[in-house]
A and B are shown apart, each in its own frame.
Chain A
Amino acid sequence: DIQMTQSPSSLSASVGDTVTITCRASQTISNYLNWYQQKPEKAPKLLIFAASFLQSGVPSRFSGSGSGTDFTLTISSLQPEDFATYYCQQSYNTPPYTFGQGTKLEIK
């Protein structure tokens, strides 16, 4: 199975900052990579699919990039509602649809 590793596991930032979260696959997955946001006690929400496509309704301050094994999620000009946990997910070799372990973004 393909393993997905996110870094960092946690991150502190301030409103207005730009942050980058990295996801690395254990083998090449082309652009078969999705990003989700999860707030406490809530269901995950799709942000980015196919590595760089912004889901409808998601603010443009969210962007995704990468191909092969290395991917990034960038959040520009952080807003208070962006503090959450972020997960990457591969859909290249399924099943299983492997998720990363998550990155918790906290307010500094």
Chain B
Amino acid sequence: EVQLVESGGGLVKPGESLRLSCAASGFTFSNYNMNWVRQAPGRGLEWVSSISSSRSYIYYVDSAKGRFTISRDNAKNSLYLQMNSLRADDTAVYYCARVSDIVVVPAARPNWYFDLWGRGTLVTVSS
């Protein structure tokens, strides 16, 4: 079965760290760029970080720069998010999401979209 399964969430105090994992199965993980997306309670979706298939390109939302580190182990079919110096506003469900793409117009950039999502893992930052 093609799926993504997140783990590693929990309750931590402000300033503490947490490492999220996302286990991929049913597809060739090493062929895909991957992302983390979060959703605070009662709020919308917020993209957090991206990593390319070969780890050549890594990006973060401004609020995560310097605190979060995305990584992957293609041999283990796994994606990670190391979160340090956690704050109350990091409280959210964290989803991992696979990126697929289509080239609609020849020679144009691909259209990227998130076609596979995990169920999410809840991170709560509270004293």
Q: Is the CB of A45 closer than 8 A to any CB of chain B?
A: yes
Which residue on chain A has the smallest CB distance to residue B62?
A96
Q: Could you say which interface size class chain B belongs to?
A: 20 to 34
Q: Is the CB of B32 closer than 8 A to any CB of chain A?
A: no
List the one stretch of B9-17, B78-86, B115-123 in contact with chain A.
B115-123
- Do the beta carbons of A53 and B46 come within 8 Å of each other? no
Q: How far is the CA of A89 from the CA of B112 in the complex (A)?
A: 10
Interface size on A, residues (CB 8 A): 27
Contact of A46 among B46, B95, B108, B113 (CB under 8 A): B113
Residue numbers in A under 8 Å from B95 (CB-CB)? 43-44
- Do the beta carbons of B113 and A102 come within 8 Å of each other? no
Q: How far is the CA of A23 from the CA of B44 in the complex (A)?
A: 15
Q: Is the CB of A63 closer than 8 A to any CB of chain B?
A: no
Residue numbers in B under 8 Å from A91 (CB-CB)? 111-113
The minimal Cβ–Cβ distance linking A27 to chain B, given in whole angstroms, is 16
- A67-108 CB mask vs B (1 if < 8 Å, else 0) is 000000000000000000001010100111111111000000
Residues of A at the B interface (CB closer than 8 Å) are 30-32, 34, 36, 38, 42-46, 49-50, 53, 55, 87, 89, 91, 94-102
Other A-B pairs, 6, CB within 8 Å; known A89-B114, A94-B50, A97-B112: A38-B45, A49-B102, A87-B44, A95-B50, A96-B47, A101-B44
Residues of B at the A interface (CB closer than 8 Å) are 35, 37, 44-47, 50, 59-61, 95, 97, 100, 102, 104, 108-109, 111-115, 117-120
